[in-house]
Amino acid sequence: MMGGLRADELRPERSRTFAFGGLSPGLALVLALVLVQAGVSGVTALDNGLALTPTMGWLHWERFTCNVDCMEDPENCISEQLFMQMAELMVSEGWKDVGYEYVCIDDCWLAPQRDKDGRLQADPKRFPRGIRHLANYVHSKGLKLGIYQDVGTLTCAGYPGSFGYYDIDAETFADWGVDLLKFDGCYAKDLKSLVEGYKYMSYALNKTGRSILYSCEWPLYMRPYQQPNYTEIRQYCNHWRNYGDIFDSWSSVKNILAWTAFHQKSLVPAAGPGGWNDPDMLVIGNFGLSWDQQITQMALWAIMAAPLFMSNDLRNISPQSKALLQNKDVIAINQDPLGKQGYRLRKDEVFEVWQRPLSNLAWAVAVLNQREIGGPGTYTISTTDLGEGLGCAPACLITQILPVKKELGLYEWTSQLKVRVNPTGTVLLKLQTFQQDKFPVISP
Ligand code: GAL
């Protein structure tokens, strides 16, 4: 079990202490006064009409990290070329058609200093035409542009943060035509300024009048000090990270799932149209996950109603990973309009069963084999246990979605469902409940 994690366990690669040093008490006071004057606490900032289903797009961090060395590695450094190439491929390779819409810049896009008017500026070598030009390009492809900043004095990688500049930064992003802001939580002075900063930025974005989706890491940074209040967070953010950064490995995916299941009582009710728990990027198509583990990530991110941000190299991805990421049936589960997050129903030594209620009396069910030894395992479950007792009452049609699509047929309320699941793999199913009055006539 993963309860009681310390901050440094959440983020092994970086200390999570609030390192805010340089800020004068005067500046802090000014911010506090501005917050009060702005009436931040009363603002329902998230009446922004965005993220009615989980956001879909591409985000550079996991795959390209803070690679700023364009001399040595021009193809993979964080530069306008990288994002333009991804935008182009998102259209030409069918990603946009299946719903991936936001092309997102993460940390390390900035010049080391603000300009003379206090405005942020992109690194002039790597983004020679600036972010507005990139936004125009991305928009010309029918896509949206995301950008990254931080609530504290510095971004996590040490570039200028937004503290003390929330309004001016929000206006700059709106001016440039940015459509999403990922707002990180490094280098905030203390819990109070972290929370107030997240709220204030939400307000500042709203005030620009531009629709800018707001992606937060507020609960992740807050949890070591205090239980996050999700009712409050939902009012300000379109999605929020709860747990440490994803890595390109099975152990990372496994930890995220275990942590989410352990906290599902508080997480699941928090999710819904307009606001989602964010278990971090999809690493499908990279180096660290086996084929079965990629299936598990895709299936479980659909069950969790997670934002789907791929962090991979769209220039170089296997047809198999591409087909998985573009699987319309899985995406339909992720994007289901009912907007309810799924949860872990049960777990034994070997198997975990997760389920998610869907619109039109349907359910998604995922059976995950946690064993890391041996071959495929068989799991049997009574259909009375699925869909909170009603998934197959009085009967249901079951379709296997992953690993391959196949109709499993009609099941009654008291049927036994048997699936075979590869080690660290998942079988994803969709159950279509038949209502009494629409029960199909089956000829003898
Ligand atoms: C982390 C954040 C990552 C990435 C990174 C950039 O704190 O959780 O997703 O944005 O900072 O430095």
Instruction: Using pLDDT thresholds of 50, 70 and 90, give the confidence band for residue 282.
Output: very high
Helix (H, G, I), strand (E, B) or coil at 415: coil
Task: Summarize pLDDT for 396-405 with one digit per residue, the tens.
Answer: 999 999 999 9
Task: Summarize pLDDT for 293-307 with one digit per residue, the tens.
Answer: 999 999 999 999 999
In this model, does residue 340 exceed pLDDT 60?
Answer: yes
Write down the catalytic residue from 150, 184, 248, 280. 184
Q: What is the mean pLDDT of residues 19-44?
A: 36
Write down the catalytic residue from 245, 248, 292, 336. 245
Task: Summarize pLDDT for 122-170 with one digit per residue, the tens.
Answer: 999 999 999 999 999 999 999 999 999 999 999 999 999 999 999 999 9
Helix (H, G, I), strand (E, B) or coil at 182: strand
The atom of ligand 1 lying closest to the CA of 14 is 7
Which residues, including other chains, have CB under 8 Å from residue 136's CB and lie 6 or more apart? 177
Instruction: Using pLDDT thresholds of 50, 70 and 90, give the confidence band for residue 15.
Output: very low
Q: What is the mean pLDDT of residues 336-362?
A: 98
Phi, psi values for residue 383, rounded to 5°: -65, -20
Question: Percent of the chain, pLDDT > 70?
Answer: 88
Which residues, including other chains, have CB under 8 Å from residue 289's CB and lie 6 or more apart? 248, 249, 250, 253, 283, 297
Does 217 contact ligand 1 (Cβ within 6 A)? Answer: yes
Radius of gyration over every alpha carbon of the chain, rounded to an integer in angstroms: 22
Q: Is 123 a catalytic residue?
A: no
Q: What is the pLDDT of residue 269?
A: 97
**How far does the centroid of ligand 1 lie from the alpha carbon of residue 98, in Å?**
27
Q: Is the dihedral of CA 174, 176, 182, 188 positive or negative?
A: negative
Q: Is 280 a catalytic residue?
A: no
